[in-house]
Amino acid sequence: MSVIFIMLPAALVLAAIGVAAFVWAARKGQFDDFDTPPVRAVFDDDDPPRTS
């Protein structure tokens, strides 16, 4: 039972770090590009190098 007094605060701290990281990334504009990801799959890769 005493392990819950260690694990519960540790879980809350890790959850707070995760939420803080998400809020930081959202404010920095990491999730602003809504148009490129859906069409990125249809772009061809670079052409392979030609051999003589």
Buried b (16+ CB within 10 A) or exposed e, 11-49: eeeeeeeeeeeeeeeeeeeeeeeeeeeeeeeeeeeeeee
Which pLDDT value is given to residue 41?
A: 73
For 14, 33, 40, the CA distances from 49, given in Å and listed in that order, are 47, 31, 22
* Distance of alpha carbon 11 from alpha carbon 52, whole angstroms: 60
Which pLDDT value is given to residue 43?
A: 73
For the stretch 12-21, contacts whose Cβ atoms lie closer than 8 Å and that sit 24 or more positions apart, written own/partner, are none
Query: What is the per-residue pLDDT across 1-52, written as a single tens digit (0 to 9) for each?
Result: 899 999 999 999 999 999 999 999 999 988 887 777 777 777 766 666 777 6
Question: pTM of the predicted model, to two decimals?
Answer: 0.61
Which pLDDT value is given to residue 45?
A: 66
Which pLDDT value is given to residue 51?
A: 74
